[in-house]
Amino acid sequence: MTKVIGLTGGIGSGKTTIANYFQEMGVPVYIADDGAKRVMQSGSILDEVKLEFGQNIFDGEVLNRAKLAQIVFNDKEKLAKLNAIVHPAVKRDFESWLLQYKKLDYVIYEAAILFESGRYKECDVIITVTAPQEVRIERVIQRDKTTREQVLSRMKMQWNDEKRISKSNFVINNNNLKIAKEEVVKILKILNIKQNQS
């Protein structure tokens, strides 16, 4: 049975960079955000979103992601409602993706809100990526061309590092990419040893 390794970290921690490095090392990686974008193109999901959030977050028939983000990242209840629509669909998308790798020992499931969504319970091993808060804020401002206030409000919606680390098997500090990559190699060695022992 293929083991699922959960890879998570707060906004700006650089978890996608780490996920890409795992991929370079030959481990298949499912990015939950990409899965969410895929399922959000489905007519039935868009209908549910429209029903919940109204026509004003659409430009014609096209979902305006920026407008939706503005609503949900400032309102926990609205975020929970969106997640209740999207998460089950992402779960189905992941399960169908996983079928093509069922002969492999493990795959990576990368998700920003692995813990918050409860999906961590379905993972065999969990890796948390961390970075100092100021580094994370700067990364997100650069990447999303956003403001410090907006980044901080999104951070408040997520678990903090201490809480994540307390439920994780491995932690990668992604302040220095070279050292972070060395951590990935170490983790893969440990996982391979455990796999050979089981």
Query: Residues within the annotated binding site?
Result: 12-17
Distance CA 1, CA 103 (A): 8
Residues in a beta bridge with 8: 128
Residues in a beta bridge with 128: 8, 171
3-state secondary structure of 140: helix
Residues in a beta bridge with 173: 130
Helix ranges restricted to H, the chain: 15-24, 32-39, 43-53, 65-72, 76-98, 133-144, 148-156, 161-166, 177-197
Distance CA 161, CA 156 (A): 12
Query: Residues within the annotated binding site for ATP?
Result: 12-17
Extract the tokens encoding 72: 């949900």
Extract the tokens encoding 168: 């994780």
Neighbours of 61 (CB within 10 A): 9
Q: What residues have CB less than 8 Å from 162, skipping those under 6 apart?
A: none
